[in-house]
Structures are given as C-alpha cells and as structure tokens.
Amino acid sequence: MNLVIDIGNTKTKLAVFQGNKIIFKSSGDLQLLLKDCISLKAKFKTIDKTIISSVGNLNEQILVAIEKLFKVLILDSNTKLPFQNNYKTPKTLGVDRLALVSASVKQYPKRNVLIIDAGTCITYDFINAENRYLGGAISPGIRLRYRSLNNLTANLPLLDTKVPENIIGNSSIESIHSGVINGVLMEIKGAVQQYENKFEDLTVILTGGDADFLSKRLKSSIFANSNFLLEGLNFILEFNKK
C-alpha cells in the first residue's frame, strides 16, 4: 500500500492506494496532518511508502515525525519522473504540475494531452505524444477572481460562486458573476481551441477543486477527473520504487 499526501494552497489531501486503486481518501487542515498520518498508520498497517507533494508550507518538525512513521519520498525538481521535462526553469515548476503530467503519462501514454487544473490557480500543462513536457500557463482561479475584485476595488463586494443567469449582468452583482464565471469558461474553451489547432488528437483532462462545477458547462469531450493529481503522485512513487 502507498500513502499519498498532497499539501495544496488551501487543503491537505491524503489517499491510500492498493495498487492503482484508491481505497481511502480524506481532505483536511494542514495542522491535523500528523494526527491523520498516525491514524492511517494504525488503520492500514501494510502501508509501504509515502510520497509528499507540497506547494504550501510543510513544518519541518511534522515532516520529521512523518518520516518516523513511513518511508517518505519528497517530490521536488530532482525526483525521477516518467517523462522528459523540457521546461526551461524546472526548479520553479510546481510539484503539483509534475504529478498531473505524470498521471497523464500513466493513463494516456503516447498521446498529446492538455491537463487543466482548476483550483486556487488554473494551470494548463501540455505533454506531447513523444513524452516530452513542454510547459503551459497559469491564471487566477475562480475564487481568486472574486477576491481580487473585492480586494483591489473600493466598492465591489466579495461574492460566493454562482452561475450567472445571463451573459448581460443587469446589476453589479450579476455583472461580477457574469465576468468571473463566463470569463473562466471562455478562457478554458479558448485555450483548448488553440491547442487543438496546433496538435492533432488532443486529449483534454480537467481536474482540481472546481472541475465538477466547470465540467457541467464545458463540452463533453473534456474528461473530468478529480483524483488525477493523487493518481499521478502514486504513479511517481511506484516509478521511483524501480
């Protein structure tokens, strides 16, 4: 069994894998990570190895304590990966993006794949059919857009995410919803179209916290998979056992 730990900008996710199958998954606060790991150690006594992916701040003391529980692989730019990384600045490439690309290699080998991760940020990552990662893009996610309109203006309110009733907002509130949600949808559709124009037989994966919300409003040829990053981390861990 493998334990996968994904420390994101807002949440910490844990998953226990039996082979390629997730048999346990949870999401919580970073402060509870060590307690959660101790509980999983007691519940799943055959956990062999653990991989940690962190884009947030992982306390060194917590890491040392986890390393006493499991054999730990910390994902970073020096980790052996199942693809050729052609990014010009590999040390600045987020470990979450490395995991997403690895998942695409496992599930869609020798394909042109665009992975869209809709979370705090929206990231676009492209790997070609020759197994070369070329890069992508980063833009603000849905909640960041709502917050920036509130934080950087004098009078615009902070709103909860809502599907706009009309493309034409007839109030400030409806205009914000239209601008944020339709802006994100049009951005994603436009990005996919650009990649489709350049690369044949493109496979598009949508993942991240807003994947379910967005997938209902995007064309069906985009595959939604909320566990894609976790599956990529598990594949990296297995790849490094060899």
pTM: 0.93
Q: Which residue has the tokens 């519940």?
A: 43
* Runs of H (alpha helix) within 112-227: 142-151, 172-177, 183-198, 211-215
Please confirm, yes or no, whether 96 is among the known catalytic residues.
Answer: yes
Domain that holds residue 195: 84-233
Per the domain annotation, does 172 fall within a domain? yes
- pLDDT tens digits along 25-84: 999 888 899 999 999 999 999 998 999 999 877 888 999 999 999 999 999 999 999 999
Rounded CA separation 22/154 (Å): 46
Q: What is the pLDDT of residues 109-150, one digit of tens each?
A: 999 999 999 999 999 999 999 999 999 999 999 999 999 999
Percent share of the chain, pLDDT over 70 = 100
Report yes or no on 240 lying in a domain. Answer: no
Task: Exactly one of 6, 96, 117, 210 is catalytic; name it.
Answer: 96
Would you call 24 helix, strand, or coil by DSSP? Answer: strand
Residues 164 and 53 both lie in one domain: no
State the Cα–Cα distance between residues 26 and 128, nearest whole angstrom. 32
| Domain endpoint, select from 32, 52, 74 | 74
User: Residues 57, 125: one domain?
Assistant: no
How much is the pLDDT for 220? Answer: 75
Same domain? 121 vs 68: no
Average pLDDT, the chain: 95
* Residue whose tokens read 């594949």: 235
Report residue 65 CA to chain centroid gap: 26
pLDDT (tens digit, 9 = 90+) per residue, 187-234? 999 999 999 999 989 999 999 999 999 999 998 789 999 999 999 999
